[in-house]
Structure 1
Amino acid sequence: MNIELILFGAFALLTLLSAGTVIFARSPINSAMALVSTFFFLAGLYILLWAHTVAVLQVLVYAGAIMVLFLFVIMLLNLGESPTRGRPTLARIVGGASTVGLLVVLGIALSKLPSGPPPSLGLEGQATFGTMATLGQVIFTQWLLPFEAVSLLLLVAMVGAVVVAKSRI
């Protein structure tokens, strides 16, 4: 047993516990704060995997900017506790069935992965792996459309929350 394995287990367990808190918390604010802790524990896992750039981006983008946006929308909408807590509704049944279906598909996909060791990056690949230049090149060439779609989706969600809340103000 080395310290990296112990830390990995601790971060993984804390990530799962805080993700469970996101799902089962009664207050939307408590769920959002549990999501922030989940992002920080994920950043710890990224650091243990030597993906320091991804860890920093995880904290800056998700735990910082995105969560501020989420908390702004939650507070703007003045969401309280759900009055139908515990009662099965059609949306909950469909959501549960969708979750089980997604887990089955994920299990099938994971079972089809090759079991051998991953391919090596080589010396040149190791030197550029995870750098900001490589990350920027991949995001703005190969993943430009999904990157812009997510930014547009966040903008529409924020404008929608403001429009919904403005009718009650």
Structure 2
Amino acid sequence: MITIVFYILAAITLGTGILTVISRNPIHSAVYMVICFFSIAGHFLLINAQFLAVVHVIVYAGAIMVLLLFTLMLMNLNEQHEEKKKIAGRIAAVLAACLTGFVLLASVVKASPVIEGYSAAGTDFQSVKVIGQVLLDEYLVPFEFASILLITAMIGAVMISKQSKKNAQE
């Protein structure tokens, strides 16, 4: 039964992930991304990580998607105002994507499993206390960088929106 649920969630995750990337409407992409986030939370529930599932839904499907939709609405993206991308830019994007895929594939092939040195520590790694301690001790800098990145992206969206309104008035 769990295997069937896993495959259903995996199909939903992959399908909505692909639809997020190929959708032309940014609002539809955001909705597909929310569905993808919920299915990933379902994967967390399958591995008995309830806290991570709830945090994933609250943080990603809630806060990040509201921020993304806010910036999309603020930027007012229309297809009429978009200029066509040059062929050199498209080629560069495809080349960068292929290179990134090659690096990821090479890192997966060359990776050695860590499970060999695993030993039971007797600690409950799902407790909120342990997760908070690890997050604020070992991963404090990446956590703060993520918040700065989100604030910078929102400020950038506001600045782009203000500049395009100034150009429209002139």
**Is TM more than 0.5 here?**
yes
The percentage of counterpart residues that share the same residue type is 35
- Correspondence for 1:66 among 55, 64, 67: 64
Q: What stretches of structure 2 of length at least 5 have no aligned partner?
A: none
Corresponding residue SS for 1:157: helix
**Match of 1:98?**
96
Corresponding residue SS for 2:122: helix
Corresponding residue SS for 2:30: helix
- Rate the CA distance shift 1:50–1:89 in 2: closer, same or farther, 3 A: farther
| Counterparts of 2:10 and 2:17, CA distance in 1 | 10
- Identify the range of structure 1 (139-148 vs 111-120) with the bigger mean alpha-carbon deviation: 111-120
Q: CA deviation at 1:45?
A: 0.9
**Match of 2:152?**
156
Corresponding residue SS for 1:155: helix
Mapped contact 1:40–1:63 kept (Cα < 8 A): yes
**Match of 1:141?**
137
| Counterparts of 2:137 and 2:121, CA distance in 1 | 24
| Counterparts of 2:90 and 2:102, CA distance in 1 | 18
Counterpart check, 1:130 vs 2:126: yes
Q: CA RMSD in A?
A: 2.2
Q: CA deviation at 1:120?
A: 4.7
TM-score by length of 2: 0.86
Q: CA deviation at 1:88?
A: 6.0
Q: Deviations over 1:47-97 (max 9, x none)?
A: 112222211111000000010000000001111237567x66333222222
Mapped contact 1:39–1:63 kept (Cα < 8 A): yes
Count of residues paired in the alignment: 164
| Counterparts of 2:154 and 2:93, CA distance in 1 | 24
| Counterparts of 2:39 and 2:67, CA distance in 1 | 20
- Correspondence for 1:57 among 40, 55, 72: 55
TM-score by length of 1: 0.86
Corresponding residue SS for 2:24: coil
Question: Residues 70-81 of structure 1 correspond to what in structure 2 (within 5 A)?
Answer: 70-81=68-79
Corresponding residue SS for 2:111: coil
Q: CA deviation at 1:35?
A: 0.7
